Chain A
Amino acid sequence: MKRIFVFMIAAFMIAPAAAIDTEKRFDDPELQARYEHLISEVRCLQCQNQSIKDSNVSLAADLRREIARMIDEGKTDEDIAEFLVVRYGEFALYRPRTSGKTLVLWLAPFLLVLVGVFALARVLKHRMSLPIDDDSGEKG
């Protein structure tokens, strides 16, 4: 039993060795941080539920290379987001920018909360208008 347990722990220790793109692209730690932040915000279009930071497919590697190149050229984060959106659409960004098309994505949660509050208020108001001995009635 104990042997199996040790084996299982050992098996778990092997797994996390596979990290992707650990090489440093920039000597300047500030640029490196910007780079790592940017690539964690871009969706891998081939594998859709990973960022290009976490994916090792070829397209993700290409996009990492292009983003590194644009940082080298002194492009701003907005320039880089624009580059990606022009080619792949807002879907390429994990946090779509606020615009006409994506406004509903940003506003919907707040609207839904408002609807919920409104519904709750109505239900409570209705309950309060009931006779006080309503509960005892149910029990009896």
Chain B
Amino acid sequence: MNRYLWPLIAVAALIVFLVMGLRHGDPRALPSPFIGKPAPQFELPTLKNPEVTIGSKHLAGNYALVNVWATWCVMCRKEHGFLLDLAASGAIPIYGINWRDSRPEAIRWLNDLGDPYIASAYDADGRVGIDWGVYGAPETFLVDPEGTVVYKHLGPLDPAIWEREFVSRMNSGGSGT
């Protein structure tokens, strides 16, 4: 009996690790090192008007979404309808970071599809994207009123994800958790 006990335990442990690994979900979704930390500072010209800048100070005071998007990003088109609905509902201000894109094409995209953003920052060379740890658009950050990153979602948003991951965190009380 004892002879089979240890191999049995070893195999059971392997199976536990396997199941944990499989349940981990999207292997591309990495934990953001910014969760619970202050959102990275930035200041960039807006997409529609290069004379005006937008930056961290505009986010403060409210829960806000920071949505990283680009016209070359297929999944951004998929989530765009939901972003428009969300903006129309007035649930939360949405700020865009237009990441590594062409300005005329990005403006045309917003004119054609509608503009859910308070404003979009124009990050032509991806420098601010690196500061935010962006590695695949669309990415959406939830920033609390104190400017702390509460959650980051990789991939397109939809109503179910919004309810499950974002609304719950905004309701579970204010700061820093």
Asked if residues A59 and B135 are in contact (CB atoms below 8 Å), the reply is yes
Asked if residues B133 and A59 are in contact (CB atoms below 8 Å), the reply is no
- Majority secondary structure, A binding face: helix
Chain B nearest Cβ from A47, distance in angstroms: 10
Asked if residues B129 and A62 are in contact (CB atoms below 8 Å), the reply is yes
Q: Which chain B residues lie closer than 8 Å to A89 at the CB level?
A: 30-33, 133
A62-B130, A63-B130 known; A85+B125 contact, CB < 8 A:
no
Q: Does A91 contact B (CB under 8 A)?
A: yes
Closest chain A residue, CB of each to CB of B7: A119
Q: Which chain A residues lie closer than 8 Å to B31 at the CB level?
A: 89
Asked if residues A87 and B100 are in contact (CB atoms below 8 Å), the reply is no
Asked if residues B125 and A62 are in contact (CB atoms below 8 Å), the reply is yes
Asked if residues A59 and B126 are in contact (CB atoms below 8 Å), the reply is yes
Q: Does A102 contact B (CB under 8 A)?
A: no
Asked if residues B126 and A88 are in contact (CB atoms below 8 Å), the reply is no
Closest chain A residue, CB of each to CB of B134: A59
Q: Digitize B46-65: 1 where CB-to-A-CB distance is under 8 Å, 0 elsewhere.
A: 00000000000000000000
Q: Does B164 contact A (CB under 8 A)?
A: no
Q: Does B28 contact A (CB under 8 A)?
A: yes
Chain A nearest Cβ from B173, distance in angstroms: 27
Asked if residues B100 and A58 are in contact (CB atoms below 8 Å), the reply is yes
For chain B, which range describes its interface: under 10, 10 to 19, 20 to 34, or 35 or more residues? 20 to 34
Option from B126, B130, B136 in Cβ contact (under 8 Å) with A87: B130
A45→B129 CA distance, assembly (Å): 13
A66→B128 CA distance, assembly (Å): 11
Option from A45, A65, A85 in Cβ contact (under 8 Å) with B135: A45
Option from B32, B130, B132, B133 in Cβ contact (under 8 Å) with A66: B130
A45-B135, A58-B100 known; A87+B33 contact, CB < 8 A:
yes
Chain A nearest Cβ from B1, distance in angstroms: 14
Q: Which of A66, A85, A87, A91 has the most CB of B within 10 A?
A: A87
Q: Does B6 contact A (CB under 8 A)?
A: yes
Within B1-46, which residues are at the interface with A (CB < 8 Å)?
A: 6, 27-28, 30-33, 40
Instruction: Report which A residues bind B (CB closer than 8 A).
Output: 45-46, 48, 58-59, 62-63, 65-66, 85-89, 91, 119
Closest 4 interchain pairs by CB?
Answer: A45-B135, A87-B133, A62-B126, A89-B33
A48-B28, A65-B125, A89-B33 known, 18 other contacts, Cβ within 8 Å: A45-B30, A45-B136, A48-B27, A58-B100, A58-B126, A59-B126, A59-B135, A59-B136, A62-B125, A62-B127, A62-B129, A63-B130, A66-B127, A85-B33, A86-B33, A87-B40, A88-B30, A88-B33
Instruction: Report which B residues bind A (CB closer than 8 A).
Output: 6, 27-28, 30-33, 40, 100, 125-127, 129-136
| 25 A–B pairs (Cβ distance < 8 Å), ordered by A | A45-B30, A45-B135, A45-B136, A46-B135, A46-B136, A48-B27, A58-B100, A58-B126, A59-B126, A59-B129, A59-B135, A62-B125, A62-B126, A62-B127, A62-B129, A62-B130, A65-B125, A66-B130, A86-B33, A87-B33, A88-B30, A88-B133, A88-B135, A89-B31, A91-B30
